[in-house]
Amino acid sequence: MAGSIAITVEGGIARLALTNPERRNAISSTMWRALSAFAQEATRRSDIRVAVLRGAGDLAFSGGADISDFDSARSDASGAQSYDDLVEQACSAIEGLAFPTVAFIRGACVGAGAALAASCDMRIAADDAFFAIPAARLGLGYDPRGLGRVLRAFGSQGARQLFFTADRLPAERAHMVGAVDLIAPAAEVEALAERTLHRIAENAPLTLKAAKLAIRAAESGSQPLTAEAKRATALANASSDYREGRLAFTEKRAPRFTGS
């Protein structure tokens, strides 16, 4: 299958680039599996404090699921279900990462690409970017799990507009409904994203993990997640990083967090 996920890790920042330029970074089965594999590996690493997902180049975050997969992997109801499970596994894996995730969006963010962006904790977009979910123009039943993910990110009215009209939702409008956290002109958005990523990477990783768990627990109402968030909060409060944070504040210097 075409496409790959280019991954680099430096300075606490994992950078993942959806790379399928001939298809506007459409996400193939191979790429969905690579996203799941990254998430599985990342849980064992201590050098990642934030991850950013983007499309290679400036033209598209992603054109959606790679339609060239459909004849072989999604040609009937059974195949469609298996493919939806593959997409859900990848999106859930990105959602479940212990550290914050950011989708950096330039150009088109379409279909399953929009669901992947909705799997991230934050979205930063150029003001000329747009979202679209064209399922209704393909006669395609959209997996309720993915639809719920879009609903949580775009709100009920934003999700209705995306699914019912199958039209483009400009980044400015997505920002208004809260789906895009930060927006900037195309010439400035890269610098904005870099500042945001480095700001997150400088913060205490145990605090970030506890906060992410608490947010997910509050959104889902999950008792197991709530219990996990309480344990993570207690761990942060007993950490060397908490002592370092207090000392740095007293000494009026930047803290040096180690994640311990």
* 8 Å CB contact between 65 and 85: no
Q: CA-to-CA distance for 86 and 29, rounded, in angstroms? A: 8
Say what the pLDDT of residue 209 is: 96
All residues at 6 or more sequence positions from 155 whose CB lies less than 8 Å from its CB, including other chains: 177, 178, 179
81 has pLDDT over 90: no
Residues 6+ apart with CB under 8 A from 82: 73
Pair 197, 233 in one domain: no
Residues 145, 167, 78, 68, Cα dihedral to 10°: -120
For residue 83, the domain's CATH number is 3.90.226.10
Query: What pLDDT was estimated at residue 82?
Result: 84
Q: 169-196: per-residue pLDDT in tens?
A: 999 999 999 999 999 999 999 999 999 9
Residue 2 confidence (pLDDT) = 79
Supply 118's token pair: 């909705």
Structural domain includes residue 161: yes
Q: For residue 58, what are the CA distances in angstroms to 3, 28, 97, 161, 245?
A: 16, 19, 26, 25, 38
The band of 140, judged by pLDDT with boundaries at 50, 70 and 90, is: confident
Q: How high does pLDDT run on average in the chain?
A: 93
Residue 140 lies in domain: 4-201
Domain assignment present for residue 215? The answer is yes
Cα separation, 230 vs 223, whole angstroms: 11
Per-residue pLDDT averaged across 234-249, rounded? 96
Same domain assignment for residues 41 and 169: yes
